[in-house]
A and B are shown apart, each in its own frame.
Chain A
Amino acid sequence: MNSFNPKNPVIQSLFGAFLIALVGVLVWQISQGLKANNIVLDWGVLGQPSQITSGSNLTTILLGMWLTIRIALVSIILALLLGIVVGVSRLSSNTVVRLVATAYVEFFRNTPLLVQIFFWYFGVFNLLPKVVQDSLDTQFGAPTVAVVAALSIYTSSYIAETIRAGIQSIPKGQFEAGDSLGLSGFQTLGLIILPQALRVVIPPLGNQFLNLTKNSSLASQLGAQELFYYGIQMQSYSGQGFVSISAITLGYLVMSLSITAILTLINNRFALAVRK
């Protein structure tokens, strides 16, 4: 019948050769361009002493990663808490609460994060009382505060939708069963619905955490000294654009892959618990 065999070595190597040729042309083009501009790639620049922080340039990149991780962790916790509150409010029997929660979700989901970061930093932060501003600035750094606020609020609007979908995926009988056992609305929600719903929402939640970590790179626009900021700084001090952007990319890849690995572990645990 059909003689087409996808694992046919000829087809494989044809596709492989095509891809290698494509990549090769690009690499050759870029290296020609580099040569024409008298730029020499120097990976040793990572080991050279840094002009930005103490230690070598590699230390600078790692320091940046450390702040990225801290910003991401704090924002994830805040976003999760906010998101659960808003997500539950989206299903409230009180019309006004529901409308307010909907407005919150729609507004923060439909405006770019960068606009929100600038809005919190240049708009709202300046309106705070001087004392609060100063204490926040000396303790955490003003840009970091603004970025954490923007990231948690932006992500919480996505998490709220995830939580809502998760709650709605629980059959109505569960609510009714809780009711008929004499539990109050909050007890039903906290003891019966949320534990089940959280299991359903773990994969999409993990996606949001991943997005949040990547989005934290926008903090560089306010001068928060995280991975992307230090990478770009390194580029402008050393002139090694390729090396710097590779270091940034590698840093984010490592973080993304670690988060994915952790999430897979968590997911497997919960999936097992269901089967028992």
Chain B
Amino acid sequence: MNIGALSFVIPGVGQFAVQTLFLGIQYLLAAITVWLVALPILLSGPLEGRIIALALLVSLHVGAGITAIAWKQRADGLEKNLAKAPRTYRLWSNVIAGLLVLLLVDLFARWLLSLPSWSAVASNLTFILIGKLRAPSNAEDLWRLWGFVPLMIGLVVGWNLFRAKKGLLGLVLGFVGVIIGTVILWPIINNQVLGGLAMSVMLALWGIVLALPLGMLVGIGRISEIPVVRISSTIWIELFRSIPFVAVIFWFYICLPYVLGQGTQLYAVVLALAIFTSSYIGEIVRAGLQSLPKGQTEASRSLGLSGSQAMIQVVLPQAIQNMIPPLVGQFISLFKDTSLTSIVSILELFGAGRSVANRLGNATFEIYLTIAVIYFIVNYSLSRLAASLEGAKAKER
């Protein structure tokens, strides 16, 4: 009789008997947790919950027993393959943890579905996606949403051309797409009829379109050989990186009306997004430029190119490839930062959600969860894109 079999009855005891103290503690803790979670569900839970709970309890005891026996056999020298016991342990701990997570997910999903206000969320979903544009009084402007089509086409085609090393053409096409799209969308953006997710996307796009050249400028300026340029670029970058974005928004919100006149909060917000982001892009550009070996600059200088020629024709084209993944990451940050514009009452995705939550009063959990999930879907796809770019880059090397 193998003494490890004790674990079939009480998980962990067998492990103690086989003198694998650490595994014993682990199984004992697991057993307490699993029983505490599974027992109430087993007694009074939904059908699929009971099945999972039963499977969980069975696999806990069977797994603990089998693992302890395997370890005992290894200790006694009955099992010659030394890797077998750890493998058994890993397999069963995966099964047990997997079932436990499945059970918790099932409980959570059931609880979510039982919340009372999902219908309110559903009826406000169009508001969360496109803002006041959904109102019947704005029906004649609804066609302007088609502006997103040239915009997206421009971006996707431009991006692919860029990837195919036709950077300039791609940049021009992308820019043309953004311009055409913005011209179509402008009336509903300017009077802030457009809102919700659509507004967030527009804010982020315009933020990045303005921030990229600006960031490029201060990034290159930061390592410039001209002290005045270097110092002012450094101040720009460090200043905007050390104050919170809300403070930047408020600066523009307070100052801009004195420069451009009243009713310019939208411009203030776009400028704040662009300038704040430019300081972070500046750091990415600097890091990208400095990651290139110095020999590149020296070689081009010794070929007779001037400093700016070497930068534009030799260093930048190579460095840009290194900058793309962190730039996509920065765009994700920018998209998240657009949520802060709601505090100066722009009704973008979060602002729209906030106003719905305030109006309904009793559906806060559901609404903020929905908003979070929408942000997550957009940002997660972008971060996958960045990861795949990084993978492609690693393969090239």
Residue positions of A touching B, CB distance < 8 A: 2, 4, 6-7, 11-12, 15-16, 19, 26, 29-30, 32-34, 36-37, 93-97, 99-100, 106-107, 109-116, 118-119, 122-124, 126-127, 184, 186, 210, 214-215, 217-218, 220-221, 228, 232, 241-242, 245, 248-249, 252-253, 256-257, 260
Contacts and interface: CB of A to CB of B under 8 A. Distances in A.
Contacts of A245: 247, 250-251, 254
A33 B258 contact: yes
A93 B258 contact: no
Contact of B368 (A29, A107, A123): A123
The 4 closest A-B pairs by CB, nearest first: A33-B258, A256-B242, A6-B225, A110-B379
B156 interface: no
11 contacts: A6-B225, A15-B229, A30-B259, A110-B375, A112-B375, A115-B339, A215-B244, A217-B247, A245-B251, A248-B250, A253-B243
A252 B364 contact: no
B247 A29 contact: no
A28 to B, nearest CB: 10
B307 interface: yes
B320 to A, nearest CB: 23
Given A111-B336, A214-B244, A245-B250, A19 B368 contact: no
Given A16-B228, A112-B336, A114-B339, A214 B243 contact: yes
Contacts of A11: 226
B227 A111 contact: no
A115 B332 CA distance: 15
Nearest to B343: A221
Contacts of B340: 112, 114, 218
Q: For chain A, what secondary structure do more than half of its interface residues adopt (helix, strand, loop), or is it mixed?
A: helix
A252 B379 contact: no
B364 A248 contact: no
A110 B332 contact: yes
Interface in B157-208: none
B63 to A, nearest CB: 13
Contact of B369 (A33, A36, A123): A123
A113 B340 CA distance: 9
Interface stretch (B94-102, B121-129, B147-155): B94-102
B306 interface: yes
B257 interface: yes
A33 B257 contact: yes
Contacts of A228: 244, 246-247
Contact of B337 (A33, A112, A217): A112
Interface string B243-271: 11111001100110111000000000000
B380 interface: yes
B345 interface: no
**What is the size category of the interface that chain B forms with chain A?**
35 or more
B94 A96 contact: yes
A260 to B, nearest CB: 8
B259 A124 contact: no
A94 B90 contact: yes
A257 to B, nearest CB: 7
Given A228-B246, A248-B250, A184 B22 contact: yes
Given A29-B258, A96-B94, A114-B350, A6 B243 contact: no
A118 B354 contact: yes
B383 interface: yes
Contact of B376 (A16, A107, A184): A107
Contacts of A253: 239, 242-243
B7 to A, nearest CB: 19
Contacts of A116: 372
A253 B243 CA distance: 6
Interface string B207-248: 000000000000000001111110010000001001111110
A252 B247 contact: yes
B237 to A, nearest CB: 13
A249 B243 contact: yes
Nearest to A117: B368
A113 B307 CA distance: 42
Given A95-B94, A260-B242, 15 more contacts: A6-B307, A12-B227, A15-B229, A30-B255, A111-B375, A111-B376, A112-B350, A115-B339, A118-B364, A122-B357, A126-B365, A210-B242, A218-B246, A245-B247, A252-B243
Nearest to B362: A126
Contact of A6 (B226, B250, B258): B226
B242 to A, nearest CB: 4
A4 B93 CA distance: 68
B336 A113 contact: yes
B60 interface: no
Nearest to B262: A37
Contacts of A110: 332, 336, 375-376, 379-380, 383
Contacts of B347: none
Contacts of B289: none
A55 B342 CA distance: 32
Contact of A30 (B239, B243, B258, B307): B258
Contact of A122 (B226, B245, B368, B376): B368
Contacts of B226: 6-7, 11-12, 15
Nearest to A259: B242
A11 B371 CA distance: 52
Nearest to B335: A112
Contact of A124 (B97, B227, B251, B365): B365
A252 B244 contact: yes
B227 A252 contact: no
Nearest to B380: A110
A252 B242 contact: yes
Interface string B354-377: 100100000011001101100110
Contacts of B337: 112
A37 to B, nearest CB: 7
